[in-house]
Structure 1
Amino acid sequence: MSTSSAISAQPEHKRLKGITLPPSGWTLAILLVLYIFTGLIGHDPWKNDDAVTIGVVHDLVRHGHWLSLSLAGAPYPDAPLHYWVAGATGHLFAWLLPLHEAARLASGVFTLLALAFIYLAARQLHDREQAPAAPLLLAGSIGFLFHAHEAQPMLATLTAHSAAYWGLAQLNSRALRGACCFGTALGLGFLASGLAPMLPLLPVAVFAAWRAENRQRALLMLLGALLLACTLAGAWLAALLLGSPDLLAAFWQDQLTLLRGNGQQLLNLQRLSGLLPWYAWPALPLAGWTLWVKRRQLRGLPLALPILAFLMTLLAIVTCLGTRSATALLLLPPLVLLAVPGVASLRRGAANAFDWFTMITFSFFAILAWLGWSALVFGWPEKLARQASRLEPGFVGHFNLLGVSFAVLATLIWCWLIVTSPRSPMRGIMHWMAGLTLFWLLIATLWMPWIDYGKTYRPVSASLAKALPEKRSCIAGLNLADSLVASIDYFDGIRTVALSSPAGKKCELLLTTHGAPNPRGWKKVWEGGRPGDRRDNEKLQLYRREGKTPANRQPSAELQ
Structure 2
Amino acid sequence: MPAHPEHPRFKGIPLPPSGWTLAVLLALYIFTGLVGHDPWKNDDALTIGIVHDIVANGNWLTPGLAGRPYPDAPLYYWVAAASSHVFSWLLPVHAGARLASGLCTLLALAFILLAARELHGREAAPAAPLLLAGSIGFLFHAHEAQPMLAALTAHTAAYWGLFLLGRKPVAGACYFGSALGLGFLANGLPPMLPLVPLAAFVVWRSEKRQQAALLLVGSLLLAAALGGAWLIALLANSPDYLAAFWRSESTQLHASAQPLVNLWGLVMMLPWYAWPAFPLAGWTLWAKRRQFTTRPLALPVVAFLMVLLGVSYCFGARSAPALLLLPPLVLLAVPGITSLRRGAANAFDWFGMITFSVFAGVVWVAWCATVFGWPERLARQASRLEPGFIGHLSIPAVGLALFGTAVWCWLIATSPRSPMRGIMHWMAGLTLFWLLTATLLMPWVDHGKTYRPVSASLARALPETRNCIASTNVADSILASLDYFDGIRTLTTRSEAGLDCDWLLMHGLPRDKGAIAAGGWRKVWEGGRPSDRRDAEKLQLYRRDVRKAP
- Give the TM-score normalised by the residue count of structure 2: 0.97
- 2:525 maps to what in 1? 526
Deviations 1:395-436 (A, max 9, x none): 000000000000000000000000000000000000000000
Q: Which amino acid aligns with 1:519?
A: A
Deviation at 1:15, TM superposition (A): 3.8
- 1:169 maps to what in 2? 163
Distance 1:496 1:274 in 2: 39
- 1:545 maps to what in 2? 544
Deviations 1:228-276 (A, max 9, x none): 0000011010001111111110110111111123211122123212211
Moved more, 205-214 or 512-521: 512-521
SS of 1:526's equivalent in the other structure is strand
- 1:455 maps to what in 2? 449
Distance 2:345 2:7 in 1: 21
- 2:189 maps to what in 1? 195
**Unmatched segments (≥5 aa) in structure 2:** none
Q: Does 1:75 align with 2:59?
A: no
Distance 1:430 1:317 in 2: 30
Moved more, 132-141 or 202-211: 202-211
1:312-391 equivalences in 2 (<5 Å): 312-391=306-385
- 1:7 maps to what in 2? none
Deviations 1:169-209 (A, max 9, x none): 01111100100000000000100111111110001001111
What is the aligned counterpart of 2:172 among 170, 178, 195? 178
Q: Is the 8 A contact 1:37 1:108 kept in 2?
A: yes
Q: Does 1:93 align with 2:93?
A: no
Distance 1:141 1:106 in 2: 20
Q: Is the 8 A contact 1:475 1:508 kept in 2?
A: yes
Distance 2:210 2:425 in 1: 45
Distance 1:14 1:141 in 2: 29
1:12 and 1:184, CA in 2 relative to 1: closer, same or farther beyond 3 A? closer
Deviation at 1:13, TM superposition (A): 5.0
Q: Is the 8 A contact 2:471 2:504 kept in 1?
A: yes
What is the aligned counterpart of 2:144 among 142, 145, 150? 150
Deviation at 1:471, TM superposition (A): 1.0
Q: Which amino acid aligns with 2:429?
A: G
Runs of 4+ aligned residues of structure 1 deviating over 6 Å after TM superposition are none
- Give the TM-score normalised by the residue count of structure 1: 0.95
Q: Does 1:62 align with 2:60?
A: no
Distance 1:466 1:258 in 2: 39
Deviations 1:58-93 (A, max 9, x none): 000111110001000100000001000001101100
- 1:469 maps to what in 2? 463
Deviation at 1:501, TM superposition (A): 0.8
SS of 1:524's equivalent in the other structure is strand
Q: Is the 8 A contact 1:122 1:134 kept in 2?
A: yes
SS of 1:197's equivalent in the other structure is coil
Q: Which amino acid aligns with 2:498?
A: G
Deviation at 1:350, TM superposition (A): 0.1
Q: Is the 8 A contact 1:172 1:209 kept in 2?
A: no
1:2-401 equivalences in 2 (<5 Å): 13-401=7-395
Distance 1:542 1:335 in 2: 48
Distance 1:401 1:423 in 2: 36
Q: Is the 8 A contact 2:6 2:416 kept in 1?
A: no
SS of 1:403's equivalent in the other structure is helix
Deviation at 1:145, TM superposition (A): 0.1
Distance 1:476 1:44 in 2: 25
Distance 2:535 2:205 in 1: 59
Distance 1:13 1:171 in 2: 41
Deviation at 1:149, TM superposition (A): 0.1
Q: Is the 8 A contact 2:7 2:416 kept in 1?
A: no
Q: Does 1:503 align with 2:497?
A: yes
- 1:558 maps to what in 2? none
SS of 2:496's equivalent in the other structure is coil
1:12 and 1:187, CA in 2 relative to 1: closer, same or farther beyond 3 A? closer
Q: Is the 8 A contact 2:9 2:414 kept in 1?
A: no
Distance 1:319 1:378 in 2: 50
Q: Is the 8 A contact 1:208 1:301 kept in 2?
A: no
Distance 2:471 2:301 in 1: 47
Deviation at 1:535, TM superposition (A): 1.9
Q: Which amino acid aligns with 2:448?
A: G
Distance 1:506 1:302 in 2: 63
Distance 1:422 1:495 in 2: 58
Distance 2:124 2:85 in 1: 39
Give me the CA root mean square deviation.
1.2
Distance 2:203 2:255 in 1: 29
Distance 2:547 2:262 in 1: 49
Deviation at 1:367, TM superposition (A): 0.3
Q: Which amino acid aligns with 1:538?
A: E
Distance 1:74 1:323 in 2: 28
Q: Does 1:484 align with 2:482?
A: no
SS of 2:517's equivalent in the other structure is coil
Distance 1:15 1:387 in 2: 43
Deviations 1:464-516 (A, max 9, x none): 00000111120000101000000000000000000121001100000001313
Distance 1:466 1:200 in 2: 49
Q: Which amino acid aligns with 1:325?
A: S
Q: Is the 8 A contact 2:74 2:185 kept in 1?
A: yes
Q: Which amino acid aligns with 2:527?
A: G
Distance 2:504 2:8 in 1: 71
1:14 and 1:332, CA in 2 relative to 1: closer, same or farther beyond 3 A? closer
What is the aligned residue count?
A: 541
Q: Is the 8 A contact 1:171 1:218 kept in 2?
A: yes
Q: Which amino acid aligns with 1:475?
A: I
Distance 2:18 2:228 in 1: 41
Moved more, 287-296 or 429-438: 287-296
SS of 1:21's equivalent in the other structure is coil
Q: Which amino acid aligns with 1:541?
A: Q
